[in-house]
Amino acid sequence: MSHFTRRRFLANTALSGLALASGSLAMPAILRAQSRPTFTHGVQSGDVDTNSGMAWVRADRPSVIDFEWATTESFANARTLAPLKALPDSDYAVKRLMEGLPSDQEIFWRAVARDLNDINAVSEPIVGRFRTAPASRRSVKFVWSGDTVGQGWGIDVDRGGMKAYATMAARSPDFFLHSGDTIYADGPLKEEVPLKDGTVWKNIVTPEKSKVAETLDEYRGQWKYNMLDENVRALNAVVPTFFQWDDHEVSNNWSLSKDLTADDRYTEKSISLLAARAGRAFHEMTPIRYEPAEPGRVYRTIHYGPHLDVFFLDLRSYRGPNGDSMEGVLTPEARILGFEQLAWLKRELANSDATWKVIASDMPISLIVWDNYAESRGAEAVAQGDDGPAKGRELEFADLLTFIKRAGIDNVVWLTADVHYTAAHHYSPDRAVYQDFNPFWEFVSGPIHAGTFGPNGLDMTFGPEVRYVKAPSAEQGANLPPSDGFQFFGEVEIEGDTGVMTVRLIDTAGTELFTQALEPVLRG
C-alpha cells in the first residue's frame, strides 16, 4: 500500500472511530458535511479530581466551540459553559477546565463547533466522559505506562494498531497515568520494517512522522499521529489521561545543555528552541492543566480522593548537565529536580493527608541509564552507576528520601516507566550505601507501544532489590516489536474500606504477571 493511500485509509478509519466515540455523531452526517466543521481527533479528558476535570477537542477550521456537561448520557439538565475559540495559533485545538462538578459522579460532556466564517455551519456533537474522584473512601483503580510509538513501531492497522491501549481500557480504570515519552518526536517512521519471523510491520506514515520534529507543526503532528489510532481514541473517550513528559517529547536524552551540532537529522540546532516548541505542542495537544504561575509547567499534584494523591515530577526541564564525576556536593549542575520543584514536592508531601502518596516519576531512581551506552558513560537518569555514596543527581533524591523519613510521611510509592520493560523494586537502607531513609517500593512498567529492551543494571546507592522483572532475554535481543507481546502496563487498585494498595504488572494480552499487596500505615 502506498504512502499516500495508507494515509487516506487511516483518515477514513479515524472518521469511523469518531462516529463510534461521539454518541450522536454518525458517518452519513460526516460524509455530507463537507461545508460544516468537524472534530478531527476524538476527545480527551484529563487531570480529574473531586470537582473538576479537563476536556479537549480539535476542530478542522476556525470555530467557536460550545461545551456542556451533564450527569446523564441523555444530557438532561445539561449545564452550558462559555464558548472557546479554536484558531490557527493553537492548531484549532482547545481545552477547558470544567469546575463545580459533583464528586464520584459519571460526567458526560459534549462539544459542538460553529464555523467562524459561517456561523450557521455547525458540526455534529462529539461526546466524552469521565468519573470524578470520590470524596468518600471508595475503591480507586488506575493504570500507568509510558513510551508510545517509539523505536520505529507506529500504527500497523493489520496488526490491530496499539492494542495495549485496548487492554487497559478493558480493565475500566478511573484514569490512565502516562509516565512520559508520550510521543517520539525524534523517531521517524518507515513504511515497512522486516521482522525476524519473515513478516513485515507496516506503519502508517504521515509527513510529520517521516522526519525528526523541528517546527511547531511537526511537534503537533506527533500528537495527532498517536490519536489516529482507534484504540487510543477509544480509551480517550471514556478514560481520562494524566500526562507527564520525559525526553522523546523533544529529542533523545535532552536537557538544555544537549549539543545537536553533530546530529545531521536536525537543521535547527538550538535545543532550547526545540524544547520551547515541543512544550507548547505538549500543552496544546493534551488535557493537562495550566499552572497560572508557570503556564508551561508539568510538575503538579492531583488530589484523587481521601486515599490517593499523585505527585507528577518533571526530571527534564530543570536539570543541570551533571557530568561523569560529580562529587557529593549539591550544585546547580547536579540537580535534576531543581530547587523550586524539590521544595514544592516536600511541601506537597508534608501537607498531604491522603492514605497513599504516589510519586509519578518520568525516570527510575536506581536503574542505570547511560547517555552513551557503548562506553557506559554519562548518567542520564538519577543513578550515577558506581554503587557508591550519593553524588550528582542522587543528592536531591537522598535529600528527599531523608526528608520523607524525618517528616514521618508514610505510604509513599514510586511509579515510573522509561526503560521499556516491567519490574518491581524494593528499596531498603539495610542494603544501601546511603541509609538515612525508610524502605519503599518502586514499580516500573512500559512500553505501551514501542520497542522492548532491558533489563538495566541497578545502582546500589539506595539499596534496591529486584522482586520481579520481565524483559527480553539475550537470545531474543533488543528493540522487540509490539507484536512480540513484550508491552506492559501497571495497575494500582486501592481498596476503599481498608486502604490496601494492590499493584499488578500486566502485559498486552491482559495477563497479570506480578501482584504485590501493600498494607498502609495508619496513624491516629
Residue type, 408: G
How do strand 356-360 and strand 412-416 relate by DSSP bridges?
Answer: parallel
Burial environment of residue 100 by CB neighbours within 10 A (0 to 12, 13 to 18, 19 or more): exposed
pLDDT for 34 equals 64
Strand partners, 192: 202
Angstrom distance (rounded) from CA 524 to CA 515: 29
pLDDT by residue, tens only, the chain of 524 residues? 334 334 444 444 444 444 433 333 334 444 444 689 999 999 999 999 999 999 999 999 999 999 999 999 999 999 999 999 999 999 999 999 999 999 999 999 999 999 999 989 999 999 999 999 999 999 999 999 999 999 999 999 999 999 999 999 999 999 999 999 999 999 999 999 999 999 999 999 999 999 999 999 999 999 999 999 999 999 999 999 999 999 999 999 999 999 999 999 999 999 999 999 999 999 999 999 998 889 999 999 999 999 999 999 999 999 998 865 567 889 999 999 999 999 999 999 999 999 999 999 999 999 999 888 777 778 899 999 999 999 999 999 999 999 999 999 999 999 999 999 999 999 999 999 999 999 999 999 999 999 999 899 999 999 999 999 999 999 999 999 999 999 999 999 999 999 999 999 999 999 999 999 999 998 76
pLDDT for 17 equals 43
Nearest to residue 509, comparing CAs of 478, 476, 470? 470
154 φ/ψ sector (left φ>0, alpha ψ -120 to 50, else beta): beta
122 and 192 in contact (C-beta within 8 Å)?
Answer: no
Residue in the structure block whose three cell numbers are 493537562 = 288
Q: Using the 8-state DSSP alphabet, how is residue 413 labeled?
A: E
Convert the pLDDT of each residue in 190-248 to its tens digit. 999 999 999 999 999 999 999 999 999 999 999 999 999 999 999 999 999 999 999 99
Give the sign of the dihedral formed by CA 250, CA 254, CA 257, CA 260: negative
Cα dihedral: 17, 19, 20, 22 (round 10): 110
231 and 238 in contact (C-beta within 8 Å)?
Answer: no
523 φ/ψ sector (left φ>0, alpha ψ -120 to 50, else beta): beta
pTM for this structure?
0.93
pLDDT for 454 equals 87
Nearest to residue 421, comparing CAs of 459, 448, 447? 447
3-class state of residue 111 by DSSP: strand
What domains appear along the chain, each with residue ranges and CATH number?
3-131 (2.60.40.380), 143-518 (3.60.21.70)
